[in-house]
Amino acid sequence: MKFDDVLCPFCGCLCDDITVTAEGGRVTGVDNTCLLGTSKFLGDNRLKNPIMRTDDGWKDVTYDEAIASTLDALLEADRPLLYGWSGTHGEAQCIGVHMAELLGAVIDNTSSVCHGPSILAIQEVGHPGCTLGQVKNRADVIIYWGCNPTEAHPRHMSRYTTYADGYFLDNAFRDRTVIVVDVRRTETAELADVFVEIKPGGDYAVLSALRAMVRGRDEMIPDSIAGVSKEQLRHIVEICKNAKFCAVFFGVGLTMTRGKYKNVRNAIELVDELSRHTKATITPMRGHFNVYGSNEVNTWMSGYPYAIDFCRGIAFYNPGETTAVDILARKECDAALIVASDPAAHLPSKCIRHLANIPVVQIDPYPNMTTAFCNLQIPVAVSGIDAEGTAYRMDGVPIRLRKVLETEYPTDTMLLGRIYEAMMEVRGR
Amino acid sequence: MMRVLLEVKPRKKPLLPIEAECITPASFLEERDLTVWKGNRELMLSNVFNVSVTGEVDSVDGVEVVLRGETSRIKRVGEYMEGGRIIIEDDIGMHCGNFMSGGRIEVHGNAAAWLGREMRGGEIICHGDAGDYCASGYRGEKRGMRGGRVEVCGNAGDFAGEHLSGGSLIIHGDAGDFPGVEMRGGEIMIFGDCTRACGNMTGGRCHVFGTVHEMLPTFRNMGEVVHEDTGQVLTAFRGDVANRGKGNLFVGNYQYME
Amino acid sequence: MSELLVKNAYVIDPVNGINGEVMDIAIRDQWIVEEVGSGAMVIDAKGQLTLPGGIDSHTHICGTKVNFGRYMSPEDMRAGRMPRRGSMHATSGYSVPTTYGNTYRYSTMGYTTLLEGAMAPLEARHTHEEFTHTPLQDTMANTLFDGNWAIMEAVRDGDMRRVAAITAWTLSAVKGFAIKLTNPGGTEAWGWGEDVTCIHDQIPHFEVTPAEIITAMITANEMLNLPHSVHLHCNNLGKPGNYTCTLDTFDLARDLNKNRQTLYATHVQFHSYGGSSWKDICSKSEEITRSLNSKPHIVFDMGQVLFGRTTTMTADGPMEFNLYRLHHNKWSNHDVELETGAGIIPVLYRRSNLVNSIMWAIGLELALLTDDPWQCCLSTDSPNGAPFVRYPEIIAMLMSRRYREEEMSSVHPGTEHRVPLPAIDRELDWEEIAIMTRAAQAKALGLIDIGKGHLAPGAEADIAIYPIQIRDVDPSVDYMKVKEAFATTAYTIKRGRVVARQGDCVVDGINSTIWVDPQVPPEYDISNDPEFVKKFDRYYTVRMRNYPVQDVYLERQVCLRPEVSL
Amino acid sequence: MRFILNTGRTIVQGCHVEDKYSETYAGEVSTCRMNLLDMLELGVEEGEYVSVTCGSGSVVLKVVAAGEAIPCGSVFVPYGPYINHIMPEDTHSTGMPDFKSVVVVITPTTEPRKTLQDLIEDLGGRMYEIR
């Protein structure tokens, strides 16, 4: 069977033009995907059934047993952590927030180790952004700062920027100027008209200088900043000020270096400053296909995009205190539910050591690093392959994930729904 | 004079934080049950502390609360405190003295992050080191600490005095990255070193008597001045020019990145 | 089957001409009926003021920009936090509460139906997701057409049938309720960092003017026979001297529909400024209401401003940028490809500020100087002028000159020379308040036929019982009692069930979303039009197949299917 | 020698996030990419091993020559369990640890690179054998 216009559940590009062929309960072919999407659709390494850790290995358990065991672990805890959420659909994320509220848990998503700092920056200065189609149709200057779309968002340049057809551009590729700013010459940098190589940790200083230069304070800027010559900075300022539409994209190059959200804030304020001269927008290159959805869901349900502590009943928010890395590293939780992410592959080892010492339940279709650190893993359908639901693209556009396979696996919504209902029975309304 | 001694009892899960915003001098003036939270469980204050009260007073200014034992995971002590004294004999957890408007808190050990967040008045003295965001503000809020005085005898972490808009912050040791970032008023004194002082400041005064590493390029050098109290020669800067800033930054030594 | 009898209700039901009668209201399932059996559950209203459930015809509660208002404002979120309690979920936020915060607070104020003021079609799914989590009110969404490329091209070509066909397809695809124009043309110009100043400016690249868009959409609206009229946020919002633009815009509307208005002008307060700069800004409410009084085919809402902290949010991106340049606080902007835009900034309206004080006065003047209360809906354009929880304050001020004078004495002293408010004696009565908070909305939105905004048998059993005996209260003196009574109902009944009681919400609820699906003949189905499809595929970043909002997003729905005349 | 370490995504790492027990994944996320000049100075060849040390420990990685793409003084390692074995957990109270621009010390080594199973067991986990 052939399905057109399927969504790719991999990265924040959320491409929705994929053709998928499925035969005999498996995906047998895909078209239009990048390598990342292809591997996800064709991957076939699912966990077959729930597994539970025993004293000397692993045993298979039923879904009923798994749910009962999950309840025990979470209801007994004084400070459970519910972490992950970016690899599932919005409907499941909603149940997660209700669950956190009922349990008095901390709920955090993977944006705390991805674009969490961007959110902190936005909370200080706001976010002049747009949907990706605005960029595609109008932007004549594209800046990629601290990101590497060729490896992390492979179709970004062909769908939305450099190579995309645009209504107001005669020849998109020729008419656009692409500037890449990074600490190394990535493959993306090879495709740029201008490559700015910056010393690691120097982004903040360079962004401050650019802001001052856009404001006409050129004279006080030293000849070189963090390895970038003033001449090159001047050139960039000229390109941006003369642009009709300047679109900045930034990645975790800004959020993961020292200074974190201050780097992002400085980039946003540069765009604010440019907005006084021309049209300028800025967009974070969100990683997982629905990490932004998790922020959206958390926000309308609880008021905050991530790192929400419901221990006292009300929602309390303070990244740095209520974020997963901090809680795990300080050993401040006594049980964890991991949904649709793999912290053991992506968090510092001190966090993982704590996971090894507390009850951990993981809900995920695939065996992963966290499998080795959980007491129980419950496999589910894969969102976007055998489960439907809502996902939010990196620019906030919500699209419905399609389903191309029938499945015996429960979806995240079904499984979490059952767990939540069972919790309500115990805790009461 | 009333003296309240709170001694931490041994705990089964000693690393789980306790939220104890009820620990303020005023709380002990009234006859009421005080509770604290351990994660999602509400506990009587006496479940966590041995509480002994001696003496009687009718004003909060005569109350002294002493915390003894392993208090490094006790959060929010002295929140909204308006008068009296709190003495912490060892380390204290996060958010000590949040929103404090009067009285005095003395920490003999180290203080965790957010010491004196959004402080309005009164005084905090930390004899050890302070964590990140000492005397800072809340996420998304334009103004951080607005009044009062925080003195740290050791080092302070990153983002000290972020969004400072009034009052004074004194750090005798080193400050980390971005002290005084976004500050718009008030005063910071750092006797040791730091990096990237006062990024994006719009107002207020900051003195760094040691060295500012990775000095930001968007501060205008106004020449040398002699500091009145210490006689030290400092370089005066004005900025942050990235943001029409009118803040004053005085530094002993400075190095740009590279 | 469930039955409920509300006894001894002191009813004001303007749609049915009832103005203060003590009566019983019989309810079976979700409907009001002639009578119920003796086994019905009984609520004794004890002579308290009983009105149809409140309807807000312009508020911002759900969708992309509302959520971005929350996302960017943790400082606002911590202002309104409540824990999970009974059947109520935890809530956060003051000016932009969480969806549960909105639904509980509106419900305890007696509101049962809400119109989200602006939904970008491309992001409609988001609005519907949030509607699902706004369970205690029926919901509907104004759908933005202000910068729609296909429509601008059809307007340029003078092809009204095509305009109507595109509108019909879009409304139906995104499950929208009505046509919204926000600064028509201005949001497209903002795609280049520009704006239009008024209705006769050319829109860059599209060779049409705002006036042409407005006129065409009014025409299309009538061709499609939509329940509501065009819902217009005029050009040039918030600028001194903009009242002339507003008057010119009003002149575009002709009386085309005998059942309702042909134009709904929203938050008119923000469009009623005289003067040439912030230095000499003044109220032009008299000129504006003079025009409105002579044009019964225009209905408007106030857009009242109240002093305090709030968040402004609108599809009017360029306006928000200007506001940002005045306030220097944080600024968010979100342009939506081929369609519209959005901007958000936090603001603080101060009594000590002359401009803010004038804005405050103008809102009240508009309501007091409009002769016919059916033309004026009470609103703050929540949260733009103030969060909706402050409606009771507005009601009390409209009912009491004394209250207004008291407030006037604490605003900027320069205000009185620039506004007519001090000279206005009018005090609205209970019936006028009932009209301006539910009946006028029901009529303007075209919802009376589906049982909204009145209490006759056949109506949907949405009822608000306020804890006040109005025969014992003189609102002109006891305005604090009025304010208190409208803040919290004794009972809010939604779809025949008690959903809120003295400030507590007592059920989970499921909202109904009301949307329109104009019955367009196949030859006008634009989704079969090769030119439309080609441009869609080429310039949108979402495939056409993935654009329409699926049924699954509307757990409960009321679909209106107007017969069109194309 | 002191280096600035950056971690990040690569295509191969990305293609195997749902296949983490594969040889390819482990191979990819246990590489350390360096400038040729730095390799010369350090005295290592492509395919040899280095020990990368920072505040919270050491890990052995395989050297990959990155030509000019990586400037002297910096190294790049794909995200994953190998490098996270040594990444510091301090987030500066922002929630985000330093995954980029971290100072590390790199020395050539003849010690073997750990298997995933070793890494897991070091941290107190237990390998699940996929059937």
- C85 CB neighbours in chain A (<8 A) are 313
Structure token pair of residue C299: 């209905």
Residues of chain C whose C-beta is under 8 A from some C-beta in B? 72-76, 78, 329
Cβ atoms within 10 Å, residue A424: 13
Alpha carbon distance B74, B70 (integer Å) = 9
Determine if the pTM surpasses 0.95.
yes
Task: Report pLDDT for D76.
Answer: 97
Query: β-strands C513-516, D31-34: how paired?
Result: unpaired
> Who among D7, D70, D130 is closest to A367 (CB)?
D130
D68 band by pLDDT with thresholds 50, 70 and 90: confident
Task: Report pLDDT for C372.
Answer: 98
Please say whether the beta carbons of C13 and C507 come within 8 A.
no
B97 & B33 share domain: yes
Q: Number of CB pairs < 8 Å for A and D?
A: 194
CB contact under 8 A, C89 and A98: yes
171-190 in chain A: CB under 8 A from chain D: 183-186
- Identify the CA nearest to C125 among candidates A396, A164, A47, A180: A396
- Identify the CA nearest to B94 among candidates B69, B73, B108: B73
Nearest-CA residue of chain C relative to B144?
C75
- For residue D72, tell me if it sits in a domain: yes
For the stretch D103-124, pLDDT in tens is 999 999 999 999 999 999 999 9
Query: β-strands C343-349, C332-335: how paired?
Result: antiparallel
Q: Mutating which of D56, D70, D94 best tests the A interface, going by the most A Cβ atoms within 10 A? A: D94
B85 & B190 share domain: no
The pLDDT > 90 percentage for chain A reads 97
- For residue B132, tell me if it sits in a domain: no
B148 & B241 share domain: yes
Alpha carbon distance A160, C274 (integer Å) = 44
- DSSP letter for B13, please: S
Please say whether the beta carbons of A347 and D125 come within 8 A.
no
CB contact under 8 A, D93 and B159: yes
Alpha carbon distance B244, B233 (integer Å) = 26
A115-A120-A125-A131 Cα dihedral, nearest 10 degrees: 30
Task: Report pLDDT for D67.
Answer: 80
For the stretch A307-361, pLDDT in tens is 999 999 999 999 999 999 999 999 999 999 999 999 999 999 999 999 999 999 9
Residue B159, Ramachandran bin (φ over 0: left; ψ between -120 and 50: alpha; else beta)? left
CB contact under 8 A, B140 and C75: yes
For the stretch C374-385, pLDDT in tens is 999 999 999 999
| Average pLDDT rounded to a whole number, residues C193-214 | 96
A429 band by pLDDT with thresholds 50, 70 and 90: low
For the stretch C527-542, pLDDT in tens is 999 999 999 999 999 9
Q: What is the CATH number of the domain that holds C118?
A: 3.20.20.140
Instruction: Give the count of domains, chain B.
Output: 2
Residues of chain B whose C-beta is under 8 A from some C-beta in D? 113-114, 131-133, 157-159, 176-177
Q: What is the CA radius of gyration of chain A?
A: 23
CB contact under 8 A, D93 and B132: yes
Beta bridge partners of D32: D63
- Does residue B244 belong to the interface with chain C, where contact is any CB pair within 8 Å? no
CB contact under 8 A, B176 and D93: no
Q: Phi/psi at C513 (nearest 5 deg)?
A: -100, 130
**Going by C-beta distance under 8 Å and a sequence separation of 6 or more, which residues neighbour residue C417?**
none
A170 band by pLDDT with thresholds 50, 70 and 90: confident
Alpha carbon distance C45, C63 (integer Å) = 37
Question: Between A429 and C97, whose confidence is greater?
Answer: C97
Instruction: Give the count of domains, chain D.
Output: 1
Domain ranges of chain A: 47-113+289-427, 116-284
CB contact under 8 A, C543 and A303: no
- C537 CB neighbours in chain A (<8 A) are none
**Going by C-beta distance under 8 Å and a sequence separation of 6 or more, which residues neighbour residue A73?**
A80, A335, A337, A359, A360, A361, A375, A376
Task: Report pLDDT for C1.
Answer: 82
Burial string for B122-159 (b: 16+ CB within 10 Å, else e) reads bbbbbbbbbbbbbbbbbbbbbbbbbbbbbbbbbbbbbb
**C with D: 3 or more CB pairs under 8 Å?**
no
Interface predicted TM-score (ipTM) over 0.90: yes
Q: Number of CB pairs < 8 Å for A and B?
A: 116
Task: Report pLDDT for D131.
Answer: 58
| pLDDT of B258 over the 80 cut | no
- For residue B195, tell me if it sits in a domain: yes
Average pLDDT, chain A: 97
Q: What is the CATH number of the domain that holds D108?
A: 2.40.40.20
Task: Report pLDDT for D63.
Answer: 97
Lowest mean pLDDT among A22-26, A101-105, A152-156: A22-26
3-state class of D69 per DSSP?
A: coil
| pLDDT of C287 over the 80 cut | yes
Task: Report pLDDT for B31.
Answer: 80
Determine the distance from the C-alpha atom of residue A45 to the mean position of all C-alpha atoms in its chain, rounded to a whole number.
23
Average pLDDT, chain C: 97
- For residue D129, tell me if it sits in a domain: no
Topology (CATH) of A47-113+289-427: Rossmann fold (3.40.50)
- For residue C524, tell me if it sits in a domain: no
Task: Report pLDDT for A340.
Answer: 97
- For residue C516, tell me if it sits in a domain: no
For the stretch A361-388, pLDDT in tens is 999 999 999 999 999 999 999 999 999 9
- For residue D127, tell me if it sits in a domain: no
Angstroms from C74 CA to nearest CA on chain B: 6
- For residue B137, tell me if it sits in a domain: no
- For residue D131, tell me if it sits in a domain: no
| pLDDT of A206 over the 60 cut | yes
Burial degree of A27 (CB within 10 A; 0-12, 13-18, 19+): buried
| Average pLDDT rounded to a whole number, residues B60-70 | 97
For the stretch C432-487, pLDDT in tens is 999 999 999 999 999 999 999 999 999 999 999 999 999 999 999 999 999 999 99
- For residue C125, tell me if it sits in a domain: yes
350-389 in chain A: CB under 8 A from chain D: 350-353, 356-357, 365-369, 371-373, 377
Task: Report pLDDT for C124.
Answer: 98
Question: Between D68 and C106, whose confidence is greater?
Answer: C106
Residues spanned by the domain of D76: 2-122
A7 band by pLDDT with thresholds 50, 70 and 90: very high
- Identify the CA nearest to A91 among candidates A427, A315, A384, A377: A384
B166 & B103 share domain: no
Residues in chain C: 566
Interface chains of chain C (3 or more CB pairs under 8 Å): A, B
- For residue D130, tell me if it sits in a domain: no
Residues spanned by the domain of C195: 51-505
Instruction: Give the count of domains, chain C.
Output: 1
159-198 in chain C: CB under 8 A from chain A: 191-193
Q: Number of CB pairs < 8 Å for A and C?
A: 188
Furthest-apart CA atoms within chain A: distance in Å: 71
B171 & B63 share domain: no
| pLDDT of C152 over the 60 cut | yes
Alpha carbon distance C116, C300 (integer Å) = 16
Please say whether the beta carbons of B187 and B168 come within 8 A.
yes
Interface chains of chain B (3 or more CB pairs under 8 Å): A, C, D
- For residue C29, tell me if it sits in a domain: no
- Does residue C123 belong to the interface with chain A, where contact is any CB pair within 8 Å? yes
Alpha carbon distance D8, A160 (integer Å) = 22
| Average pLDDT rounded to a whole number, residues C300-329 | 94
Cβ atoms within 10 Å, residue B23: 26
Residues spanned by the domain of B26: 1-109
- For residue B122, tell me if it sits in a domain: no
CA distances in angstroms from B219 to A212, A229, B244, C503, D104, listed in the order given: 10, 18, 11, 54, 31
In A173-278 the beta strands, taken as DSSP E runs, fall at: 177-182, 194-197, 224-225, 228-229, 245-250
Average pLDDT, chain B: 97
Q: CATH: 3.90.740.10, 1.10.10.10, 3.40.228.10, 3.20.20.70. Which one for A116-284?
A: 3.40.228.10
Structure token pair of residue C66: 């509302």
Angstroms from D92 CA to nearest CA on chain B: 6
Sign of the C-alpha dihedral computed for residues C280, C281, C286 and C290 taken in this order: positive
For the stretch B161-217, pLDDT in tens is 999 999 999 999 999 999 999 999 999 999 999 999 999 999 999 999 999 999 999
A104 band by pLDDT with thresholds 50, 70 and 90: very high
